Amino acid sequence: METDLNHLRELINRHQVCWKVWPEFAMIGRDKRQIGYEVELAGTPEPGVTHPEPGSEHCQHVFTALRQIAEYIMPREERPLIYEIGPFGQSIHYWRLHSNRPDVLLSVKIFYGDGYEHTVDGCGDRCLREIEVRLQDLGAGMLQWTERQNENAGRPAA
């Protein structure tokens, strides 16, 4: 498993992977309810790729790396939640917080599978926290990429 973790850390470093969390809402009658979360992973092509085209081979490489990371961060415990990894979007996103770099995105949704009868509770919150801890341990940046954060990846806290 250690080799796999080293490989994932290398992918995170190569593609400068970072993430953000969005609440997932649904309208239930006239009520807006939070029914889950969306964890959005963002990565950029390797250094040297200057103008990647949406859907290009370079973007597909980034998406493949993000997919490997997404599969690793999923909780292993059986829970009443559904985890949904989104498809390749064949688009490039530019965000000021990421210095307008060309990002490829992958979406991981966490929600209950009972037709929105449940709202987010301790189980959903615990699942999100596990995902965030795994991303931090691998060296992914929350909201934005930082070299310093990545240097400490996988090291025990002092």
pLDDT in tens, 93-132: 888 888 889 999 999 998 876 655 666 677 888 899 999 9
pTM given for the model: 0.85
Q: How confident is the model at residue 68 (pLDDT cuts 50, 70, 90)?
A: very high
Query: Is residue 103 in some structural domain?
Result: yes
What is the distance between the alpha carbons of residues 85 and 5, in angstroms, rounded to a whole number? 20
Q: What is the pLDDT of residue 114?
A: 62
- C-beta separation of 6 from 37 below 8 A: no
As for how many domains the chain has, the answer is 1
Residues 6+ apart with CB under 8 A from 90: 54, 55, 59
What is the distance between the alpha carbons of residues 99 and 132, in angstroms, rounded to a whole number? 23
Q: How confident is the model at residue 158 (pLDDT cuts 50, 70, 90)?
A: very low
CA distances from 94 to 16, 44, 150 (A): 14, 10, 22
Residues 6+ apart with CB under 8 A from 146: none
Written as six digits, the tokens of 58 are 């370079």
Q: What is the pLDDT of residue 157?
A: 39
Query: Is residue 39 in some structural domain?
Result: yes
| For range 40-60, the mean pLDDT | 90
| Stronger pLDDT, 9 or 123, i.e. the higher one | 9
Query: Is residue 156 in some structural domain?
Result: no
Query: Is residue 41 in some structural domain?
Result: yes
Mean pLDDT, all residues of the chain? 85
Q: How confident is the model at residue 150 (pLDDT cuts 50, 70, 90)?
A: very low
Query: Is residue 132 in some structural domain?
Result: yes
Helix, coil or strand: residue 113 = coil
Range of the domain at 126: 2-150
| For range 37-46, the mean pLDDT | 94
